[in-house]
Structure 1
Amino acid sequence: MGKLVKKKNEVWEWTRALLIAAGIAAIIRFFLFSPIVVDGSSMVPTLQSGERMIMNKISYHFKEPDRFDIIVFHAPGNKDYIKRVIGLPGDEIKYQNDVLYINGEAYEEPYLDEYKAMFEGNNYTEDFTLEGVMSENTVPEGHVFVLGDNRPVSQDSRTIGPIKMEDVVGSTNIVFWPFNDVRYVK
């Protein structure tokens, strides 16, 4: 009889430990961090289709996105997109002669240098102004303006408009797969 009670206690202890571990994993997965797969070429050369990243779901509950953060957001068509934050609320955005201007100041985008070089003499990013793509001259409050790094093919704020902060799921900058290309992305 003593062996049976000891066996039941051991089974209960293992079951309880597994339930606690599953609960902790669920909390981490649903509220803190989760994996996301890059789908498509809109963030090339920074990210490649099929790469897996860790998304931080909690960071924007405590702070607003910073310019040039890579974010994940709910896009039209029940999809999540990965893009780079270019404009913050109140910013004036303009692209002219392959140069990004924010509030009249030119900004360098070193993450595009490799691809810009291949476009010799042609603009990698077509000229645009905010007013031309969304009929407002500044990014609205509670929104961000995003662009994909692969500007010629990216579906981003130039076509879908500014992104509501409530649609931002989180930030991402750690590639964990493929294993031979694990890296931190800026």
Structure 2
Amino acid sequence: MSEKFKKELIEWIKVIATALVFAFIITQFIRPTLVRGESMYPTLVENDYLIINRMSYKIGEPKDGDIIVFKTNLLQDDGKPKDLVKRVIATEGQHIKIEDSKVYVNDKLLDEPYIHENYTSGDIDMVVPEGKVFAMGDNREKSLDSRYESVGLVDEKDIMGKVMIRLFPFNKIGIVS
């Protein structure tokens, strides 16, 4: 093996090792995710490619209106656990009530300009327990969310992160709110 080849090989190993270290560090802070379904329409649509901030709730708490990605016990067609993308409606200690297709938090009617139709089915009247959040999709009639027993309240430890940026489609690149 020539000396020149050894130097070239060492340089390649350094470049690859550096790239792997950077990739590991980046994935600790952000994570890509893909929207499946129409539960967040019109805010998000099928196949929107999102970047979530994995550190958001390591240093802070979920807030009303945040769009989050969380783990569930639901299974996808391939048998893997299903992650859901929903909007935080109420956090621990808040009183949520859904009555006559309207949503109230702490007895105040929510102003929800982001929802698809001005209608929310369900009959909910509860105080969100410690360590939990109540989350719903923006397309209420097509959303499997905290109103349903199969999803229920979201445990804060199951929240993977806050949706920050839409990367695709390219004509909609930007911050998601």
Q: Alpha carbon RMSD of aligned pairs, Å?
A: 1.6
The answer on 1:125 being equivalent to 2:120 is: yes
The answer on 1:83 being equivalent to 2:74 is: no
Please tell me the residue identity of whatever aligns with 1:139. V
2:31 counterpart residue number:
34
Higher helix share: 1
Instruction: Identify which of 3, 6, 12 aligns with 2:4.
Output: 6
The answer on 1:144 being equivalent to 2:126 is: no
Instruction: Identify which of 159, 173, 179 aligns with 2:170.
Output: 179
Please tell me the residue identity of whatever aligns with 2:142. V
State the secondary structure of the residue aligned to 1:9: helix
Higher strand share: 2
1:64 counterpart residue number:
61
CA distance in 2, matches of 1:40, 1:149: 12
- Do 2:67 and 2:162's aligned partners in 1 also have CA atoms closer than 8 Å? yes
| Count of aligned pairs between the two proteins | 169
Deviation at 1:127, TM superposition (A): 4.7
Question: 5+ residue gaps in structure 1?
Answer: 117-122, 131-136
Please tell me the residue identity of whatever aligns with 1:16. K
Structure 1-normalised TM-score? 0.85
Instruction: Identify which of 157, 167, 176 aligns with 2:146.
Output: 157
1:43 counterpart residue number:
40
CA distance in 2, matches of 1:128, 1:182: 36
1:103 counterpart residue number:
106
